[in-house]
Amino acid sequence: MRVTTDAVVDEYEWIRGRAAVPELINDVRDRLGPLFDTEVDHVTTDRYREEVDEVFADGDRAVNVAALSAILRDLDCEGDYPGFVVDEFLGRKLAATVAGGEPRALLAEATFHFADVHTHGPDDEAAGADDLDAALAAGFQSRLPGWAWTESESPFAVE
């Protein structure tokens, strides 16, 4: 695998155009909201694309997101368990990278596992493809507004 500026642009365009991700974000939010006794705003495709633009505007983050995405799109592994371990590891890292710093990175990693359980791609796709969608949904849903707790200042800030 060779990661170039062109490869990053290609992956950016693929991620930006991935219509399944905003749908999966909203599905995850619809499933998580009741578990936390809250309503979570839905994300539009346009808002998702704006956030993809934001993630890829940071070159250091962009190259890592692009590389992890490309690996997952192509990842297939003989035998279920070994493939499960590596695609889970890469998916978690991609979700955290998209989400940004702590605490959102940790929330994205946890949300990745939740999203992954509910995400299944076609049998003719590489094993990592559904993990890629789950990781993108978890990462972007963690950084996008919509959760009430993200709308106010933390009560723990020391002034």
| Prediction pTM value | 0.88
Distance in angstroms (rounded) separating the CA atoms of residues 99 and 119: 19
Which range has the worst mean pLDDT, 86-90, 97-101, 120-124, 154-158?
120-124
- Residues with Cβ within 8 Å of 54's Cβ and at least 6 positions away in sequence, in order, are none
Higher per-residue pLDDT: 105 or 119: 105
* Amino acid, res. 133: D
Distance in angstroms (rounded) separating the CA atoms of residues 55 and 49: 10
Distance in angstroms (rounded) separating the CA atoms of residues 131 and 9: 21
pLDDT in tens, 66-82: 999 998 888 766 655 56
Residue ranges covered by each domain of the chain = 5-148
Q: How many other CB atoms are found less than 10 A from the CB of residue 90?
A: 20
- The mean pLDDT of the chain is 87
Higher per-residue pLDDT: 119 or 4: 4
pLDDT in tens, 134-150: 999 999 999 987 877 77
Residue with tokens 């590596």: 86
